């Protein structure tokens, strides 16, 4: 959370992160997470052994990866009122703003069980009956489900070389973790107007026994496609202070975002820290200088293509897969790998590394069966919809299997779905204009502000000539830190050493500091008509004679010109120390 003063060139006055822990500043598992396991600290079913009943076992399966369940938690976030020493969220204020104001808000979020994952696909309008699969598994595989993960490394940090003797500074690569979603959701995928575009494909002649000797040919196809619109119909109610529930708002419609591929990065790590991205994925965004989180509230569509697949019930091996894969000639990533070489000299397995090269454009696209311009060949497609890192597969030809669309494609790793192996697709009905499919993801949490959400507020200015204060209003003045510890090891102040801050002061007032015996130690005149102090004043712990004070309890009497007054006790503790020889 960042607060900026837009009247002072967007100066940052507060900047801090929060985990929305139930008790502020204390670690807890009950924080929003992409994995329900961290919410209950176990990915196995938990049996209640405290109130154990052998007849009716109380089992908590919230952390099991495939569990579907919801839990709601509410709480309050506050930056504090500066009277609690060491309160973590008060440290987010800049030195200038510290003690001048605070903010707080109530929140409610809904945590879903299991891992963040696609959950279901259903046709709710139309007659389509093709094979549809959600790309998931029972574990956390960031190739299958693009949950929060390392997307880049920050090389701006330096550290001492542990392997050398000269204490040389070397680059310390700090992993940068990004998330591509703002929680699960329910979406309506609307199939719109059908259009046609002409594409040239590279592919090999089907049914060649020795794929390495197969001829790579090119052919032009007329490819129809349906324009897509993705609507967000996610809903959630939060409690209100009146006791009623309030419907929360979510973005109505997601925009299509084109995504790129990326090579293996950070190869200086022996393990290859970031492997190649071989299908359109938000993981590649940082490679091109963008934030991976830009994909939040957007979606992407892309397709795999196969030529001559009419009699193939399923591709069960790499060699078969290679025989049918087709890639658009103008696919940028594919052509960069080919370089100046003749496509005829490229082993057909190179084709197998690539998806078709077809994505949506301004809107998403769903590609339908295409026909050769000069021949009987057809090109078939597996269409993939990526929402927040969850992938939904429309596999009319039963050609791919769910594992086919991993971020890092492994053609041998096919989905094992016995219900569709060997199933012909000739009699299936594909989607058409006017159809609607419902896509649902689960896991993670919803209800918190989206990244980039902004609130604008104004702190009202007060004219000192017109302002009047009561004693009760003066009692809101705070002194921090209190007590103030001074030692050789550290200062308990969050900022500069050897000063005490008086906060929430009137624009004009007098601060008189007395000892417990009634001796006047120091008088400070606070006047913001001369100097803008944002309601704050500092004392450098020096007496009126310029002497450093000793450990003692003191009293501050703060008075306004119209006679309003408050009395604030505080104390300073000066520590001692001694030098110990090694």
Question: For position 343, what pLDDT does the model report?
Answer: 62
Listed as ranges, residues in the chain with pLDDT below 50 are 311-314, 316-318, 401-423, 488-496, 577-579
Q: How many whole angstroms separate alpha carbon 349 and alpha carbon 344?
A: 12
Running DSSP on this structure, what letter comes out for residue 318? Answer: H
3-state SS class at 349: helix
Q: Is 245 left (phi over 0), alpha (psi -120 to 50) or beta?
A: beta
CATH code for the domain defined by 471-574: 2.60.40.3580
**C-alpha pair distances (Å), 327 with each of 200, 207, 217, 552:** 8, 18, 11, 81
Contact 298, 254 (CB under 8 A): yes
Between strands 104-112 and 70-78, the pairing is antiparallel
Radius of gyration of the chain (CA): 32
Between strands 390-395 and 131-134, the pairing is antiparallel
Q: How many residues does the chain have?
A: 582
Contact 95, 365 (CB under 8 A): no
Q: What is the pLDDT of residues 82-121, one digit of tens each?
A: 777 788 999 999 988 888 788 888 888 999 998 898 999 9
The pair phi, psi for residue 322, each rounded to 5°, is: -60, -35
Question: For position 333, what pLDDT does the model report?
Answer: 66
Question: For position 574, what pLDDT does the model report?
Answer: 80
Q: Among 147, 139, 132, which Cα is nearest to 184's? A: 147
Between strands 298-307 and 253-256, the pairing is parallel
The pair phi, psi for residue 403, each rounded to 5°, is: -75, -5
**Quick one: tokens of 17?**
């992160």
**Quick one: tokens of 324?**
């049918």
User: What are the extents of the domains in the chain?
Assistant: 2-112, 117-442, 471-574
Single pTM value for the model: 0.75
Question: For position 345, what pLDDT does the model report?
Answer: 60
Element (H, E) at 566: strand 565-574
Contact 380, 356 (CB under 8 A): no
Question: CB-based burial of residue 321 (10 Å sphere; 0-12 exposed, 13-18 middle, 19+ buried)?
Answer: buried
Q: Among 2, 8, 134, 130, which Cα is nearest to 68's? A: 134
Question: For position 577, what pLDDT does the model report?
Answer: 45
Running DSSP on this structure, what letter comes out for residue 315? Answer: -
């Amino acid at each position: 959370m960042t607060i900026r003063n837009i009247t002072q060139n967007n100066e940052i006055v507060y900047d801090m992160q929060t985990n929305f822990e139930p008790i502020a500043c204390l670690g807890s598992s009950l924080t929003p997470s992409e994995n329900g396991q961290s919410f209950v600290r176990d990915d196995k079913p938990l049996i209640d052994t405290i109130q154990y009943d052998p007849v009716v076992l109380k089992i908590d399966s919230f952390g099991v990866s495939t569990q579907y369940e919801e839990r709601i938690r509410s709480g309050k976030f506050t930056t504090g009122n500066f009277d609690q020493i060491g309160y973590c969220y008060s440290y987010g204020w800049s030195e200038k703003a510290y003690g001048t104001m605070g903010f707080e808000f109530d929140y409610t979020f809904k945590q879903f069980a299991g891992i963040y994952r696609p959950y279901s696909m259903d046709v709710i309008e139309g007659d389509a009956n093709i094979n549809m699969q959600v790309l998931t598994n029972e574990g956390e595989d960031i190739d299958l489900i693009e949950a929060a993960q390392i997307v880049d490394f920050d090389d701006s940090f330096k550290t001492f070389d542990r392997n050398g003797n000269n204490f040389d500074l070397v680059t310390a690569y700090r992993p940068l973790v990004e998330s591509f979603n703002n929680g699960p959701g329910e979406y309506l995928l609307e199939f719109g107007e059908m259009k046609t575009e002409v594409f040239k494909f590279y592919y090999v002649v089907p049914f060649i026994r020795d794929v390495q000797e197969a001829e790579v040919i090119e052919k032009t196809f007329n490819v129809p496609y349906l324009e897509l619109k993705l609507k967000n119909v996610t809903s959630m109610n939060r409690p209100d202070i009146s006791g009623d529930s309030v419907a929360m708002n979510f973005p109505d419609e997601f925009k299509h975002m084109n995504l790129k591929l990326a090579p293996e990065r950070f190869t200086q790590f022996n393990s290859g820290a970031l492997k190649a991205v071989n299908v359109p994925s938000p993981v590649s965004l940082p490679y091109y200088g963008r934030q991976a989180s830009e994909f939040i509230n957007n979606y992407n569509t892309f397709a795999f293509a196969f030529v001559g697949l009419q009699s193939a019930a399923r591709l069960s091996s790499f060699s078969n897969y290679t025989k049918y894969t087709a890639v658009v000639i103008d696919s940028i990533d594919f052509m960069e790998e080919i370089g100046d070489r003749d496509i005829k000299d490229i082993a057909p397995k190179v084709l197998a590394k690539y998806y078709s090269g077809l994505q949506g454009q301004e809107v998403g696209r769903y590609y339908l069966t295409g026909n050769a311009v000069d021949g009987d060949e057809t090109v078939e497609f597996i269409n993939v919809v990526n929402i927040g890192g969850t992938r939904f597969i429309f596999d009319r030809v039963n050609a791919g299997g769910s594992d086919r669309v991993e971020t890092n494609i492994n053609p041998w790793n096919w989905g094992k779905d016995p219900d569709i192996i060997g199933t012909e697709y000739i009699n299936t009905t594909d989607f058409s204009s006017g159809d609607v499919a419902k896509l649902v993801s689960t896991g993670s949490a919803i209800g918190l502000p989206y990244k980039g959400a902004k609130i604008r507020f104004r702190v009202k200015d007060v004219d000192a000539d017109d302002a009047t204060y009561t004693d009760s209003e003066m009692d809101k003045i705070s002194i921090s830190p209190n007590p103030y510890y001074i030692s050789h090891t550290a200062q308990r102040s969050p900022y500069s050493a050897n000063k005490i801050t008086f906060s929430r002061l009137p624009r004009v007032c007098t601060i008189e500091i007395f000892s417990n015996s009634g001796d006047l130690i120091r008088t400070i005149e606070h006047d913001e008509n001369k100097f803008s102090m944002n309601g704050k004043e500092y004392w450098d712990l020096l007496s009126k004679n310029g002497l450093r004070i000793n450990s003692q309890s003191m009293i501050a009497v703060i008075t306004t010109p119209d006679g309003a007054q408050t009395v604030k006790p505080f104390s300073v503790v000066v520590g001692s120390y001694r030098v110990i020889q090694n």
